[in-house]
Amino acid sequence: MSEYFRTIKTSDARFEFDGLKFVTVKSKYLGRRGNVLLYLPDGIENLETIPVYILLHGVYGSAWSWALNAGAHKTADRLIKEGAISPCILAMPSDGLWGDGSGYVEHEYESYEKWVVKDVKAVVESQLQHKSIIESYSISGLSMGGYGALCLGAKYGNHFKAISAHSAITRWDEMQPFVEENIYMINNPNGHQNAIDLLKANKDNLPALRFDCGIDDDLVEANRLLHNQLLQEGIDHIYEEFSGGHEWPYWEKHIEKTLYFFDNTHRP
Protein backbone atom coordinates (compact mmCIF):
# COMPACT_ATOMS: atom_id res chain seq x y z
CA MET A 1 0.00 0.00 0.00
CA SER A 2 1.06 3.63 -0.49
CA GLU A 3 0.07 6.95 1.04
CA TYR A 4 -0.61 8.27 -2.46
CA PHE A 5 -1.86 5.18 -4.32
CA ARG A 6 -4.56 2.83 -3.11
CA THR A 7 -2.59 -0.11 -4.46
CA ILE A 8 0.98 -0.47 -5.67
CA LYS A 9 2.79 -3.58 -6.87
CA THR A 10 6.52 -3.79 -7.55
CA SER A 11 8.70 -6.44 -9.12
CA ASP A 12 10.64 -8.81 -6.85
CA ALA A 13 14.27 -7.73 -6.54
CA ARG A 14 15.38 -11.33 -7.02
CA PHE A 15 14.14 -11.32 -10.61
CA GLU A 16 14.98 -7.75 -11.64
CA PHE A 17 17.81 -7.13 -14.11
CA ASP A 18 19.95 -4.31 -15.52
CA GLY A 19 18.76 -1.88 -12.86
CA LEU A 20 15.14 -2.14 -14.04
CA LYS A 21 12.19 -2.18 -11.63
CA PHE A 22 8.58 -2.70 -12.73
CA VAL A 23 5.78 -0.89 -10.87
CA THR A 24 1.99 -1.09 -11.30
CA VAL A 25 -0.29 1.30 -9.43
CA LYS A 26 -3.96 2.13 -9.34
CA SER A 27 -4.18 5.67 -10.72
CA LYS A 28 -7.01 8.00 -9.80
CA TYR A 29 -6.30 10.00 -12.96
CA LEU A 30 -6.58 6.97 -15.23
CA GLY A 31 -9.38 5.34 -13.27
CA ARG A 32 -7.50 2.05 -13.61
CA ARG A 33 -4.02 0.58 -13.20
CA GLY A 34 -0.99 2.12 -14.83
CA ASN A 35 2.54 0.83 -15.39
CA VAL A 36 5.94 2.47 -14.97
CA LEU A 37 9.33 0.93 -15.69
CA LEU A 38 12.17 2.49 -13.69
CA TYR A 39 15.91 2.39 -14.21
CA LEU A 40 17.72 2.91 -10.89
CA PRO A 41 21.51 3.23 -11.23
CA ASP A 42 24.01 1.35 -9.09
CA GLY A 43 24.94 3.14 -5.88
CA ILE A 44 21.82 5.28 -5.76
CA GLU A 45 21.60 4.69 -2.00
CA ASN A 46 24.86 6.63 -1.57
CA LEU A 47 23.76 9.74 -3.47
CA GLU A 48 22.53 12.95 -1.86
CA THR A 49 20.58 14.06 -4.95
CA ILE A 50 19.72 12.64 -8.36
CA PRO A 51 17.72 13.91 -11.38
CA VAL A 52 14.82 11.98 -12.90
CA TYR A 53 14.33 11.77 -16.65
CA ILE A 54 10.83 10.76 -17.83
CA LEU A 55 10.80 9.01 -21.23
CA LEU A 56 7.47 8.82 -23.07
CA HIS A 57 6.85 6.14 -25.71
CA GLY A 58 5.01 6.47 -29.01
CA VAL A 59 1.81 4.94 -30.37
CA TYR A 60 1.28 1.20 -29.92
CA GLY A 61 3.92 1.13 -27.15
CA SER A 62 3.95 0.72 -23.40
CA ALA A 63 6.14 1.16 -20.34
CA TRP A 64 8.72 -1.34 -21.60
CA SER A 65 9.23 0.27 -25.03
CA TRP A 66 12.18 2.59 -24.35
CA ALA A 67 14.10 -0.12 -22.49
CA LEU A 68 13.35 -3.19 -24.57
CA ASN A 69 13.22 -1.58 -28.03
CA ALA A 70 16.00 0.99 -27.60
CA GLY A 71 18.01 -0.08 -24.55
CA ALA A 72 17.69 3.41 -23.06
CA HIS A 73 18.65 2.10 -19.62
CA LYS A 74 21.77 0.44 -21.03
CA THR A 75 22.80 3.69 -22.71
CA ALA A 76 22.29 5.61 -19.47
CA ASP A 77 24.19 2.97 -17.50
CA ARG A 78 27.12 3.05 -19.93
CA LEU A 79 27.36 6.84 -19.93
CA ILE A 80 27.18 6.94 -16.12
CA LYS A 81 29.93 4.33 -15.76
CA GLU A 82 32.10 6.18 -18.30
CA GLY A 83 31.65 9.36 -16.28
CA ALA A 84 30.09 11.07 -19.30
CA ILE A 85 26.92 11.94 -17.36
CA SER A 86 26.00 12.03 -13.69
CA PRO A 87 23.81 9.26 -12.23
CA CYS A 88 20.14 9.60 -13.14
CA ILE A 89 16.85 7.76 -12.78
CA LEU A 90 14.84 6.90 -15.89
CA ALA A 91 11.06 6.75 -15.45
CA MET A 92 9.35 5.10 -18.41
CA PRO A 93 5.55 5.08 -18.02
CA SER A 94 2.86 3.69 -20.24
CA ASP A 95 0.73 6.39 -21.85
CA GLY A 96 -2.34 5.01 -20.06
CA LEU A 97 -3.01 2.45 -22.80
CA TRP A 98 -6.04 4.09 -24.42
CA GLY A 99 -6.65 2.90 -27.99
CA ASP A 100 -3.56 3.03 -30.19
CA GLY A 101 -2.30 5.98 -28.13
CA SER A 102 -3.75 8.41 -25.62
CA GLY A 103 -1.75 11.41 -26.84
CA TYR A 104 -0.85 12.17 -23.20
CA VAL A 105 -3.77 14.61 -23.13
CA GLU A 106 -6.92 15.17 -21.14
CA HIS A 107 -9.84 12.96 -22.17
CA GLU A 108 -13.41 13.40 -20.95
CA TYR A 109 -13.09 10.96 -18.06
CA GLU A 110 -9.35 10.32 -17.79
CA SER A 111 -6.36 12.63 -17.48
CA TYR A 112 -3.45 11.10 -19.33
CA GLU A 113 -1.42 14.25 -18.80
CA LYS A 114 -1.84 14.28 -15.02
CA TRP A 115 -0.99 10.57 -14.98
CA VAL A 116 2.45 11.60 -16.26
CA VAL A 117 2.90 14.89 -14.43
CA LYS A 118 1.59 13.79 -11.03
CA ASP A 119 1.28 10.00 -10.74
CA VAL A 120 4.57 9.06 -12.39
CA LYS A 121 6.41 11.36 -10.01
CA ALA A 122 4.65 9.70 -7.08
CA VAL A 123 5.71 6.29 -8.42
CA VAL A 124 9.35 7.38 -8.48
CA GLU A 125 9.14 8.77 -4.96
CA SER A 126 7.52 5.57 -3.70
CA GLN A 127 10.60 3.59 -4.70
CA LEU A 128 13.15 5.79 -2.92
CA GLN A 129 13.91 5.76 0.78
CA HIS A 130 13.93 9.55 0.87
CA LYS A 131 12.04 11.42 -1.85
CA SER A 132 14.13 14.52 -1.00
CA ILE A 133 16.94 12.86 -2.96
CA ILE A 134 15.20 13.90 -6.21
CA GLU A 135 16.94 16.97 -7.57
CA SER A 136 14.58 17.72 -10.45
CA TYR A 137 12.64 16.22 -13.36
CA SER A 138 13.07 16.49 -17.12
CA ILE A 139 10.84 15.02 -19.83
CA SER A 140 11.50 13.46 -23.23
CA GLY A 141 9.71 11.25 -25.72
CA LEU A 142 9.53 9.91 -29.25
CA SER A 143 6.82 10.48 -31.86
CA MET A 144 3.56 10.70 -29.84
CA GLY A 145 5.80 10.81 -26.77
CA GLY A 146 7.64 13.74 -28.34
CA TYR A 147 4.31 15.53 -28.61
CA GLY A 148 3.68 14.70 -24.96
CA ALA A 149 7.11 15.96 -23.90
CA LEU A 150 6.72 19.24 -25.81
CA CYS A 151 3.17 19.90 -24.62
CA LEU A 152 3.50 18.76 -21.00
CA GLY A 153 6.92 20.36 -20.66
CA ALA A 154 5.46 23.67 -21.86
CA LYS A 155 2.20 23.48 -19.94
CA TYR A 156 3.83 22.38 -16.68
CA GLY A 157 7.07 24.33 -16.95
CA ASN A 158 7.43 24.59 -13.19
CA HIS A 159 7.60 20.79 -12.96
CA PHE A 160 10.45 20.23 -15.41
CA LYS A 161 13.99 21.48 -15.88
CA ALA A 162 14.38 20.44 -19.52
CA ILE A 163 12.46 19.09 -22.54
CA SER A 164 13.80 16.88 -25.33
CA ALA A 165 11.78 15.39 -28.19
CA HIS A 166 12.70 12.90 -30.90
CA SER A 167 10.77 12.64 -34.20
CA ALA A 168 7.92 14.45 -32.51
CA ILE A 169 4.34 14.75 -33.58
CA THR A 170 3.98 18.52 -33.31
CA ARG A 171 0.33 19.10 -34.28
CA TRP A 172 -2.67 17.19 -32.99
CA ASP A 173 -3.87 16.22 -36.47
CA GLU A 174 -0.54 14.45 -37.13
CA MET A 175 -1.72 11.75 -34.72
CA GLN A 176 -4.47 10.57 -37.08
CA PRO A 177 -2.35 8.61 -39.63
CA PHE A 178 -0.88 6.54 -36.79
CA VAL A 179 -4.06 5.47 -34.99
CA GLU A 180 -7.29 3.62 -35.68
CA GLU A 181 -9.46 5.87 -33.52
CA ASN A 182 -10.83 9.21 -34.74
CA ILE A 183 -8.70 11.62 -32.72
CA TYR A 184 -11.32 14.34 -32.96
CA MET A 185 -13.83 12.12 -31.19
CA ILE A 186 -11.75 12.50 -28.02
CA ASN A 187 -13.56 14.98 -25.82
CA ASN A 188 -10.61 17.04 -24.58
CA PRO A 189 -11.68 19.80 -22.14
CA ASN A 190 -8.61 21.82 -23.19
CA GLY A 191 -9.25 21.49 -26.91
CA HIS A 192 -6.90 19.79 -29.34
CA GLN A 193 -3.75 21.88 -29.16
CA ASN A 194 -0.60 22.01 -31.23
CA ALA A 195 2.79 22.09 -29.55
CA ILE A 196 3.57 25.60 -30.79
CA ASP A 197 0.42 26.98 -29.15
CA LEU A 198 1.48 25.73 -25.71
CA LEU A 199 5.11 26.74 -26.21
CA LYS A 200 4.05 30.27 -27.20
CA ALA A 201 1.52 30.55 -24.37
CA ASN A 202 4.15 29.59 -21.83
CA LYS A 203 7.22 31.17 -23.47
CA ASP A 204 8.17 33.09 -20.32
CA ASN A 205 8.34 29.94 -18.21
CA LEU A 206 9.76 27.27 -20.51
CA PRO A 207 12.34 24.70 -19.44
CA ALA A 208 15.47 24.27 -21.55
CA LEU A 209 14.33 22.89 -24.92
CA ARG A 210 15.77 20.72 -27.68
CA PHE A 211 14.32 18.43 -30.35
CA ASP A 212 15.52 16.46 -33.37
CA CYS A 213 14.18 14.54 -36.34
CA GLY A 214 15.48 12.18 -39.02
CA ILE A 215 15.78 13.58 -42.54
CA ASP A 216 13.90 10.55 -43.90
CA ASP A 217 11.08 10.87 -41.37
CA ASP A 218 7.61 11.82 -42.64
CA LEU A 219 7.43 14.25 -39.70
CA VAL A 220 10.60 16.17 -40.59
CA GLU A 221 8.78 19.03 -42.37
CA ALA A 222 6.52 19.50 -39.35
CA ASN A 223 9.57 19.61 -37.08
CA ARG A 224 11.24 22.15 -39.38
CA LEU A 225 8.09 24.25 -39.23
CA LEU A 226 8.10 24.13 -35.43
CA HIS A 227 11.77 25.15 -35.43
CA ASN A 228 11.02 28.17 -37.65
CA GLN A 229 7.98 29.13 -35.57
CA LEU A 230 10.11 29.08 -32.42
CA LEU A 231 12.72 31.25 -34.13
CA GLN A 232 10.00 33.74 -35.10
CA GLU A 233 8.77 33.82 -31.52
CA GLY A 234 12.30 34.30 -30.16
CA ILE A 235 12.02 31.11 -28.09
CA ASP A 236 15.45 29.72 -27.26
CA HIS A 237 15.89 26.09 -28.36
CA ILE A 238 18.13 23.58 -30.12
CA TYR A 239 16.91 21.79 -33.24
CA GLU A 240 18.96 19.10 -34.98
CA GLU A 241 18.49 16.76 -37.93
CA PHE A 242 20.24 13.44 -38.46
CA SER A 243 20.14 10.63 -40.99
CA GLY A 244 17.39 8.10 -40.38
CA GLY A 245 13.66 7.69 -40.34
CA HIS A 246 10.80 7.06 -37.92
CA GLU A 247 12.35 3.93 -36.45
CA TRP A 248 13.87 2.39 -33.33
CA PRO A 249 17.50 2.42 -34.56
CA TYR A 250 17.22 6.22 -34.82
CA TRP A 251 15.84 6.59 -31.29
CA GLU A 252 18.28 4.06 -29.84
CA LYS A 253 21.16 6.14 -31.20
CA HIS A 254 19.90 9.62 -30.39
CA ILE A 255 18.63 9.04 -26.85
CA GLU A 256 22.25 9.91 -26.03
CA LYS A 257 21.50 13.47 -27.19
CA THR A 258 18.72 13.69 -24.62
CA LEU A 259 20.84 12.29 -21.81
CA TYR A 260 23.72 14.67 -22.51
CA PHE A 261 21.34 17.63 -22.82
CA PHE A 262 19.56 16.82 -19.59
CA ASP A 263 22.85 16.24 -17.80
CA ASN A 264 24.27 19.58 -18.96
CA THR A 265 21.07 21.31 -17.91
CA HIS A 266 21.20 19.74 -14.45
CA ARG A 267 24.87 20.41 -13.77
CA PRO A 268 25.63 23.51 -11.63
Q: Would you say 149 and 165 are in contact if contact means Cβ atoms under 8 Å apart?
A: yes
DSSP-assigned letter for residue 111: B
Q: What is the chain's alpha carbon radius of gyration, rounded to the nearest angstrom?
A: 17
pLDDT tens, N- to C-terminus, the chain (268 residues) = 457 999 999 999 999 999 999 999 999 999 999 999 999 999 998 999 999 999 999 999 999 999 999 999 999 999 999 999 999 999 999 999 999 999 999 998 899 999 999 999 999 999 998 888 999 999 999 999 999 999 999 999 999 999 999 999 999 999 899 999 888 777 676 777 899 999 999 999 999 999 999 999 999 999 999 999 999 999 999 999 999 999 999 999 999 999 999 999 977 6
List Cβ neighbours of 239 (8 Å cut-off, separation of 6 or more): 210, 211, 212, 223, 224, 226, 227, 230
Supply the pLDDT for residue 193. 86
Residue 267: alpha-carbon gap to chain centroid: 20
Task: Provide the whole-model pTM.
Answer: 0.96
> Which domains are assigned to the chain?
8-266 (3.40.50.1820)
Supply the pLDDT for residue 268. 62
